[in-house]
């Protein structure tokens, strides 16, 4: 049996952005080491704009030679663990940390697999941290004050909120709006970079004996022989060309067999959506609804910086029938996060969330802060907006959903990290109760027992713990606010109802509003709308999309199998299904310029569909919003994607 040595060493490498990143280099078996995707972004490396595909440019397995088929289907190496956690974000790391805190005799083997090259480099959030879950996870900390108050994080990672504002925009005018209780942050919560916070949590996890492996993409779920339970996951094969053939560098992925597999992939995870469908976890629950968060981090002029100040805005540039709002958070030394969240349930296919964000920055309220500053980072990520109604069943034979994979975002509060982490902690407690009495992996190995379990574990106790927790109470109290914006009265009606619910009703109503169909299904045909002419970027406050993507550090191997899948990888077929009705919606909903329709006189459509997969920043918007629902986002090779450090 293949085992991975514990306690891998770390070495420090320096990237072109002068951010110290930590990468594991020792303690990995040769099989796993060969899968690792170590890279340092070269200072003089150009930004790769496109990897062009037209028509079907990829061979299916049965068209490969017999030798190539044998290589691609060779048996995987197998490793065995007690708990395998897919995803190294706050919820996955909280799960791992809590498990090892409970595992005082160091009996359990807990592994975290993360697709990003470094923990935190795929994390995007505002972030305003509610310290509640962190304080529960670390009840004792050197970072608390003399009264035991504060947040258990190094002070250089967080800035306490000391002042806040809430505005409604009508054109260039702005009007103050009463701050709902859920959105009050002053002297309670903290601004920071969730990317950096996740990196810190990973270090804490390793100190407790958690095996944390970044740069490992998990591509497949391993099911039992009867196909009724999850018994583990498999990592993605490395070294498959865009044509679908194995390259000389090909390395087969490996399997992690686990007593429990925890899916902590974040919003709309590629494996989470599979188990939700397979085990019908949405039965009796609402469809999930999503938003797209787009943000930049700026280094502003000192006179424009107000440390600890935060602001949220609604209205302009979004019309009354589009849910969303802007924000600016001042943190660190002269750093300001500015961003826009747009609900993906908009109907007009000509809407571009990216361009709406550029318009937002031209509003005097934002422009006066950014003028004379320098944009140093860009990011975008889908987020859950369905609330309690859309939380699926959390358990199934062999595994669990935690964090944003389940959708614990408190939309009115504009926070989800604290609820995500708490869900992982609840899961860890129930996992420990179920697994700790079992024979250890070493005991099984000595007895030559190859079975990790006599029967699969289905942790119903985790769902019960959730329903009896403060997460459920918090989400229940605000369950009607986000769907209230989907009435015919739009934003105006939603603001009125949310104000009533926040200040008076406080969620104590006998009704629960439902959501609409999926965000893809509510999209209407282009012939109902006029194309939108967005202003050209000025290069100072507003930017073209490729300039923005260049600030993400995104990289994928040029000769890598495309991770943006359409049926049979036939791009022409997709174009024929999507373009006549929606007129290139893919061009507009993607915040990274991944999808293009290029004029082509030889095509009956007059255009050719192209996927620039190297631009992909892993936001998942395409998988969520495309009306034809034929784009499937799957993980690329490990380590590919953005290299965030301040997001």
Residue 36 designated active-site: no
Residue 84 designated active-site: no
Catalytic residue among 76, 381, 482, 551: 381
Say if residue 118's pLDDT is above 80.
Answer: yes
Catalytic residue among 235, 622, 645, 647: 622
Span 595-613, mean pLDDT? 96
Span 600-619, mean pLDDT? 96
Catalytic residue among 84, 267, 375, 616: 616
Name the residue among 294, 305, 292 with its Cα closest to residue 368: 305
The token pair that represents 32 in the structure block: 């796993």
Which three-class secondary structure state does DSSP give residue 80?
Answer: strand
Separation of alpha carbons 312 and 393, rounded Å = 33
* Least confident stretch, 184-193, 418-427, 492-501, 631-640: 492-501
Span 41-55, mean pLDDT? 40
Residue 417 designated active-site: yes
Q: Are 633 and 620 a contacting pair, CB within 8 Å?
A: yes
Name the residue among 406, 428, 427, 403 with its Cα closest to residue 416: 403
Say if residue 48's pLDDT is above 90.
Answer: no
User: Using H for helix, E for strand and C for coil, what is the string for 563-581?
Assistant: CEECHHHEHHHHHHHHHHH
pLDDT at 607: 97
The strands making up 158-160's β-sheet, listed across from edge to edge, are 128-129, 190-192, 158-160
Residue at token pair 């899968």: 35
Catalytic residue among 15, 193, 405, 417: 417
pLDDT at 37: 30
Contacts of 221 (CB under 8 A, 6+ apart): 230, 232, 233, 234, 261, 271, 274, 275
Separation of alpha carbons 101 and 4, rounded Å = 21
Say if residue 1's pLDDT is above 80.
Answer: no
Banded model confidence at residue 448, pLDDT cuts 50, 70, 90:
confident
- Average pLDDT for the chain: 90
pLDDT at 624: 98
Residue 562 designated active-site: no
User: Using H for helix, E for strand and C for coil, what is the string for 406-452?
Assistant: CCCCECCCCECHHHHHHHHHHHHHHHHHHHCCCCCHHHHHHCCCCCC
Separation of alpha carbons 288 and 387, rounded Å = 8
Banded model confidence at residue 13, pLDDT cuts 50, 70, 90:
very low
Span 116-142, mean pLDDT? 96
pLDDT at 56: 55
pLDDT at 356: 98
Span 18-44, mean pLDDT? 32
Q: What is the pLDDT of residues 244-297, one digit of tens each?
A: 999 999 999 999 999 999 999 999 999 999 999 999 999 999 999 999 999 999
pLDDT at 450: 79
In the chain the domains, ranked by start, together with CATH numbers, are: 544-633 (3.30.70.20)
Banded model confidence at residue 490, pLDDT cuts 50, 70, 90:
confident
Catalytic residue among 91, 125, 217, 548: 125
What pTM, to 2 d.p., does this model score? 0.91
Q: What is the pLDDT of residues 522-550, one digit of tens each?
A: 999 999 999 999 999 999 999 999 999 99
Banded model confidence at residue 517, pLDDT cuts 50, 70, 90:
confident
Q: What is the pLDDT of residues 566-588, one digit of tens each?
A: 999 999 999 999 999 999 999 99
Q: What is the pLDDT of residues 307-363, one digit of tens each?
A: 999 999 999 999 999 999 999 999 999 999 999 999 999 999 999 999 999 999 999
Catalytic residue among 21, 84, 375, 619: 619
pLDDT at 54: 45
Catalytic residue among 21, 267, 562, 590: 590
Residue 125 designated active-site: yes
Q: Are 618 and 642 a contacting pair, CB within 8 Å?
A: yes
346 against 183, higher pLDDT: 346
Which three-class secondary structure state does DSSP give residue 268?
Answer: coil
pLDDT at 593: 97
Instruction: Give the length of the chain.
Output: 647
Interior CA angle at 250 toward 248 and 256, to 5°?
165
Q: In whole angstroms, how far apart are CA 127 and each of 131, 153, 363, 375?
A: 12, 14, 22, 17
Residue 622 designated active-site: yes
pLDDT at 171: 92
* Least confident stretch, 28-32, 215-219, 499-503, 610-614: 28-32
Q: In whole angstroms, how far apart are CA 91 and each of 42, 106, 417?
A: 32, 21, 8
pLDDT at 57: 67
Name the residue among 475, 527, 481, 520 with its Cα closest to residue 502: 481
Span 375-382, mean pLDDT? 98
Cβ neighbours around 101 below 10 Å, total = 15
DSSP-assigned beta bridge partners for residue 312: 166, 327
pLDDT at 493: 86
Separation of alpha carbons 201 and 157, rounded Å = 12
């Amino acid at each position: 049996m293949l085992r991975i040595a514990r306690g891998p060493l770390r070495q420090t490498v320096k990237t072109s952005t002068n951010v110290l990143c930590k990468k594991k280099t020792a303690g990995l078996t040769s099989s796993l080491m060969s899968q690792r995707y170590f890279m340092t972004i070269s200072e003089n490396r150009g930004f790769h704009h496109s990897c062009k595909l037209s028509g079907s440019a990829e061979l299916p397995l049965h068209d490969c030679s017999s030798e190539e088929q044998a290589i691609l289907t060779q048996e995987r190496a197998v490793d065995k663990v007690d708990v395998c956690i897919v995803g190294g974000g706050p919820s996955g790391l909280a799960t791992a940390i809590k498990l090892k805190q409970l595992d005082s005799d160091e009996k359990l083997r807990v592994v975290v697999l993360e697709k990003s090259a470094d923990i935190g480099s795929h994390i995007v959030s505002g972030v305003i941290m509610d310290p509640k879950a962190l304080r529960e996870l670390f009840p004792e900390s050197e970072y608390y004050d003399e009264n035991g108050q504060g947040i258990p994080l190094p002070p250089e990672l967080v800035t306490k909120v000391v002042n806040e504002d809430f505005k409604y925009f009508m054109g260039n005018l702005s009007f103050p709006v009463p701050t709902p209780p859920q959105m009050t942050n002053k002297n309670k919560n903290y601004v920071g970079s969730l990317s950096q916070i996740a990196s810190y949590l990973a270090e804490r996890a390793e100190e407790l004996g958690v095996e944390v492996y970044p740069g490992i993409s998990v591509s497949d779920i391993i099911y039992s022989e009867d196909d009724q339970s999850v018994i583990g996951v498999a990592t993605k094969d490395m070294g498959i060309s865009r044509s679908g053939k194995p390259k000389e560098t090909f390395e087969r992925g490996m399997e992690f067999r686990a007593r429990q597999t925890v899916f902590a992939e974040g919003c709309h995870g590629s494996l989470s959506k599979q188990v939700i469908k397979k085990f019908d976890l949405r039965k009796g629950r609402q469809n999930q609804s999503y938003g797209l968060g787009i943000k930049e981090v700026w280094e502003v002029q000192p006179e424009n910086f107000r440390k600890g100040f935060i602001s949220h805005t609604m209205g302009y540039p979004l019309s009354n029938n589009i849910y969303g709002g802007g924000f600016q958070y001042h943190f660190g030394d002269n750093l300001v996060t500015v961003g826009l969240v747009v609900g993906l349930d908009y109907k007009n296919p000509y809407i571009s969330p990216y361009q709406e964000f550029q318009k937002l920055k031209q509003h005097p309220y934002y422009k006066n802060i950014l003028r004379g500053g320098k944009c140093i980072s860009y990011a975008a990520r889908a987020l859950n907006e369905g609330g309690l109604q859309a939380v699926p069943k959390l358990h199934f034979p062999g595994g669990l959903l935690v964090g944003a994979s389940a959708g614990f975002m408190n939309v009115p509060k504009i926070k989800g990290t604290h609820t995500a982490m708490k869900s992982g902690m609840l899961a860890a407690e129930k996992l420990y109760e179920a697994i700790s009495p079992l024979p250890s992996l070493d005991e099984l190995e000595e007895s030559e027992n190859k079975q990790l379990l006599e029967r699969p574990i289905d942790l119903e106790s985790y769902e019960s713990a959730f329903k009896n927790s403060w997460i459920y109470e918090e989400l229940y109290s605000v369950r009607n606010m986000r769907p209230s914006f989907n009435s015919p009265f739009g934003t105006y009606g939603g603001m009125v109802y949310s104000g009533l619910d926040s200040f008076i009703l406080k969620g104590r109503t006998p009704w629960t509003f439902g959501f609409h169909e999926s965000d893809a299904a509510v999209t209407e045909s282009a012939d109902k709308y006029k194309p939108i002419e967005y202003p050209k970027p000025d290069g100072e406050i507003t930017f073209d999309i490729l300039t923005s993507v260049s600030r993400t550090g995104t990289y994928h191997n040029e000769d890598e199998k495309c991770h943006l899948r359409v049926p049979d990888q036939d791009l022409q077929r997709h174009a024929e299904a999507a373009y006549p009705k929606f007129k290139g919606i893919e061009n507009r909903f993607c915040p990274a310029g991944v999808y293009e329709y290029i004029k082509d006189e030889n095509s009956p459509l007059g255009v050719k569909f192209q996927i620039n997969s190297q631009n992909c920043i892993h936001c998942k918007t395409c998988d969520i919003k495309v009306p034809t629902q034929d784009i499937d986002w799957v993980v690329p090779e490990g380590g590919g994607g953005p290299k965030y450090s301040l997001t």
